[in-house]
Amino acid sequence: MSKVKLFRIVGFLEGLSYVLLLFIATPIKYTMGDPQYVRFLGMPHGLLFIAYIVLSIILKPELKWNSRQFNLVLLASVIPFGTFYIDKKFLSFNNE
């Protein structure tokens, strides 16, 4: 498996886990007093976030991202749905 394909998978899973954490687990925690979903999603999301950042750093020279593009890729990891945008904008051309 190529690094780009791995990055796309990690980006998708990171984005999905972030959206689930923000829009499902956190509201359940604060409206129903049930923190189990936050606990269940928190650790995998954290690991996926770290993997996304590390893979971004590794792929920067390979994909020839300039500073602006690289910063946008990093910023996308903290914006809901951001990793999906990055996949479409910067990675879709690699039909791997």
Q: Say how far apart CA 54 and CA 28 lie, in whole Å.
A: 31
What are the residue ranges spanned by the domains of the chain?
Answer: 3-91
Instruction: Tell me the residue type at 70.
Output: F
Q: What average pLDDT values come out for the chain (96 residues) when binned by 10 residues?
A: 94 96 95 93 95 97 95 95 93 62
Q: Say how far apart CA 27 and CA 24 lie, in whole Å.
A: 6
Q: In the prediction, which pLDDT does 93 show?
A: 67
Q: Say how far apart CA 32 and CA 83 lie, in whole Å.
A: 29
- List the one residue out of 24, 21, 91, 20 whose CA is nearest residue 52: 91
pTM of the model: 0.89
